[in-house]
Structure 1
Amino acid sequence: MVVQQRRLMLSTGTTIDGVYAVAGSPAGTAVGIWEVFGRTCVDITDLNPPPSPDEVFRYFQTLPLPTLATRQQPPGNALVGLPVVFYADGPTGQDFTLDIRGFTVEITATAESFTWHTGDGTDLTTTDPGAPYPHQTITHDYAAGTYTASLTTTWSGTFRVDGSADVAVPGTTTTEGAPVTFAVVEARAVLTDPYD
């Protein structure tokens, strides 16, 4: 970095160090040539440092993360005494490449936890997205009624700047899946005449 200076005309007709200029020059007119005032080395990376974890987190919160749909079994109506099976439908990880102030930032987002809002006041939080029958891992028993269930997915992430080592994103963000509404009915046994 080179710092230069140049004299300016004062209202007295001279510069601050007494150098005369062309007669009639207005105050503020430049006088003479540019002179080197100082010379130093500057690390330009200090002027544009790589994105910090907090800066990356602000971008992470705005990513178009997958919105996982809530699935339930049996589809449609369910029966009292028969647990309803829940599972998520969609990707649980996604990669993004961003340009942040000229730096290439690669972010890997991963679904960290799943909160199932069952619709009857109960929330179930799991670390896996569940699976359909017969490999179900998330079930819930209901009384008779109509319920609306939904899923909140919590996402964590890692990032690297210009191919550096992975660093954890210092925070999480969430997405809300579309809700699903279903009825839970009570089955009643009815005797019938086998000869009818």
Structure 2
Amino acid sequence: MNDGSVLPFGFCLPPDSGPEVLTVSIVRTAFAELKLPAAKLVIQPPDGLTLVNFDTNFYTTSTRPISRTVTLLGQQVTLEATPAEFHWIFGDGQSLATSEPGAPYPDLTITHNYLRTGTYQPSLDTVFTGRFRVGGGPWRQIPGTVTINGAGQALRAIEAQPKLVGY
């Protein structure tokens, strides 16, 4: 009988290897402990400077699934983590959650307007979903998600100063 905690036929260790059985719970724990990289946050305009009341563009290029092979209870298990949600923290108390990674200029899909001058620390947290397979078996979903928090980047919002110039 399979109550969902033990993997179906073909996923268990041979009977002579002891009582330990590879369960979804064990796989879930391994997935949660993966050393996944934080997503790369790109801010436009570049160089840590933007204007007040100006569409500051945010995006990431970290969109591909990440695969790792681990050994669990003597079996080779491939874990795949896929970015599924992005949490944009703008550093001024505002944030946004999307399934989209944003895009570089001119495709302004994730933007934010800073209303005051100051120095901010925007960051990007990434929520990963996962799947796994034992050996060359079929892929199965891993319940739950893993969130990797990104580091803040210094961004200064300034006011534009108009200047008249002669010919």
Query: Which bin holds the TM-score, normalised by the shorter protein?
Result: 0.7 to 0.9
Pick one of 71, 88, 95 that aligns with 2:42: 71
Report percent identity of matched pairs: 38
The letter for the 1-side match of 2:87 is: T
Q: Structure 2 CA distance, aligned partners of 1:145 and 1:181?
A: 10
Aligned residues: 152
Kindly report the root-mean-square deviation, in angstroms, between the aligned alpha carbons of the 2 structures. Answer: 2.0
CA contact (8 A) 1:71 1:180 kept: no
Flag structure 2 segments of 5+ consecutive residues without an equivalent. 1-13
Alignment of 1:94-173 (within 5 A): 94-143=66-115, 144-173=117-146
When Rg is computed on C-alpha atoms for both structures, the one with the higher figure is 1
Give the Å deviation of 1:146: 1.5
Give the Å deviation of 1:96: 1.1
CA contact (8 A) 1:149 1:179 kept: yes
TM-score (norm 1): 0.71
TM-score (norm 2): 0.82
Aligned to 2:160: 187
Q: Structure 1 CA distance, aligned partners of 2:108 and 2:68?
A: 31
Q: Structure 1 CA distance, aligned partners of 2:17 and 2:144?
A: 26
Which structure would you say has the larger RCO, counting Cα contacts within 8 Å and 6 or more residues apart? 2
CA contact (8 A) 1:66 1:90 kept: no
Say whether residues 1:174 and 2:150 are aligned partners. Answer: no
